[in-house]
Amino acid sequence: MPHITGNQMRAARALMNWSQSDLADKAGLWHPTIANIETGKTTPSKATLDKISGVFINHGLEFLDGEGVKKKTETVLTLSGESDFERFYDLVYDAAKTTGGQIFISNVDERIFDEFVQPEFDKFHMHRMEQIRRNIDFRTLVKEGDDYLPAKGYSKYKWLAAEKFANTPFYVFADYLAIIIMIDEPMIILIKNQKVADLYREKFLIQWESAKKPILPERPKGKKKTA
């Protein structure tokens, strides 16, 4: 990770329109820690600087010589493991909250996703997405017959025919494409490129048109009380 300065942190926050508290939350640090680093009141450890750098880099920023910082026009990142999966969800949420728009997921089995996210974080993420559901067009394609639809509080679902369903999920949101490889642990190939994102967005919409609305089993009705 690059060694960043307090001035670069302030500049990077300005580019992302983040407060010190926003950065602290995303990096898993205390707010005073961020304030003290930016004002030069403390000398942070390498581990702390790596956390902060990682947050900015994952959000598409690049640090330059001479205390410069800029947004990358194209970025390819590889994320892996449980903590990176949660950071990826943070990125999806930040993009949804900031820019709204379309968020498309295809070829997903959300039972597998659940294995790599702590239940507390999963509940937290779903709650915050529900809070901004009016600002987004969130759609998910699952395999025909799959009745596990945990995000129906903010996402529309459709069934994709079994012969068209692939085992490699992809996310499209803002100018990002994320290809998710599930082996022993999740690996996310995150590409920040508007043209690539638009191509996969078109691919998703073609799939969506041919997909079916899920037919879910009716919930059993309670027995009527007799007098």
CA distances 170 to 78, 83, 153, Å, are 14, 19, 20
> How is 35-75 classified by DSSP, letter by letter?
HHHHHTSS---HHHHHHHHHHHHHTTEEEEGGGEEEE-SSE
Which tokens sit at 200? 């996969």
Name the pTM for this structure: 0.69
Q: Are 62 and 69 in contact (CB under 8 A)?
A: yes
Q: Residue-wise over 106-128: b if at least 16 C-beta within 10 A, else e?
A: bbbebeebeebbeeeebeebbee
Map out the domains of the chain with their CATH numbers. Answer: 6-71 (1.10.260.40), 75-210 (3.30.870.10)
Query: pLDDT tens per residue, the chain (227 residues)?
Result: 567 888 889 888 888 888 899 899 888 899 999 999 988 888 889 889 988 988 888 788 888 877 678 877 667 888 887 778 888 999 899 889 888 899 999 999 998 888 888 899 999 999 999 999 999 999 999 999 999 999 999 999 999 999 999 888 999 999 899 999 877 777 899 988 889 999 999 999 999 999 999 987 766 665 554 44
